[in-house]
Chain A
Amino acid sequence: EVQLVESGGSLVQPGGSLKLSCVASGYTFSNYWMDWVRQTPGKSLEWIGEINTDGSKTNYAPSIKDRFTISRDNAKSTLYLQMSNVKSDDTAIYYCTRIGYNSGYVGDYWGQGVMVTVSS
């Protein structure tokens, strides 16, 4: 069974940093691209970015580019999201998603999400 489990969410002050993790199990992690998506308290979904299978290529949404960094450790089956210079607008639930190449290259599995609150 495919499972994605995020961790690392917390309350962080504006301008601060935070690193989220997503541990994958139930499939060969290194064979799949991975994405991060967030959902704001107002409920809308926002794509943050993605990383390819070996971590050599990333794509980011303009809204977070140069502040967030996506990386992965295939030996640990873990995806990361390094967040820096966070703003109140970054308050959201953060999901990691597996990009399924048999499902049109969209998120076929999602984690349960982790809450990040940016506030002083």
Chain B
Amino acid sequence: DIVMTQSPSSLAVSAGETVTINCKSSQSLLSSGNQKNYLAWYQQKPGQSPKLLIYLASTRESGVPDRFIGSGSGTDFTLTISSVQAEDLADYYCQQHYSYPLTFGSGTKLEIK
């Protein structure tokens, strides 16, 4: 199984700051066939189900604000949230969909000071 390691497990920032969440996979998620990275990011607000933010490592889902930026390739990926807003209070998860079984990171809790 591919192990997804997220860091940090939690962080607290003030509104307007920039946040970086890291996700490292135990194997490369880059397909040699199409050069796509099979990595997704989800946001889960308190009391809600997860919501897709980013897929294929860097493509924002429709309707997701452009302050959410996904980057990285191979085994190292980053979710950057620029100018954090109070509504971004949530848990963030990465997921690999490169091979079965699909696996998630352990999550990063974002708190707003």
Residues of A at the B interface (CB closer than 8 Å) are 35, 37, 43-47, 59-62, 95, 100, 103-108, 110-113
Contact = CB atoms under 8 A, between A and B. Distances in A.
A64 to B, nearest CB: 10
- Determine the main DSSP class of A at the interface with B: strand
Contacts of A95: 49-50
Contacts of B91: 43
Given A61-B101, A111-B49, 13 more contacts: A43-B91, A44-B104, A44-B107, A47-B95, A47-B101, A60-B101, A104-B40, A104-B55, A104-B56, A106-B55, A106-B95, A110-B49, A112-B49
B38 interface: yes
B102 A43 contact: no
Contacts, number: 56
B97 A45 contact: no
B55 to A, nearest CB: 3
Interface residues of B, number: 24
Contacts of B51: 110
- Determine the main DSSP class of B at the interface with A: loop
Interface of B: 1, 36, 38, 40, 42, 49-52, 55-56, 59, 61, 91, 93, 95, 97, 100-104, 106-107
A107 B38 CA distance: 13
22 contacts: A43-B107, A44-B106, A44-B107, A45-B50, A45-B107, A46-B104, A47-B103, A59-B100, A61-B101, A62-B101, A95-B49, A95-B50, A100-B52, A103-B55, A104-B38, A104-B40, A106-B52, A106-B55, A107-B42, A108-B52, A110-B50, A112-B49
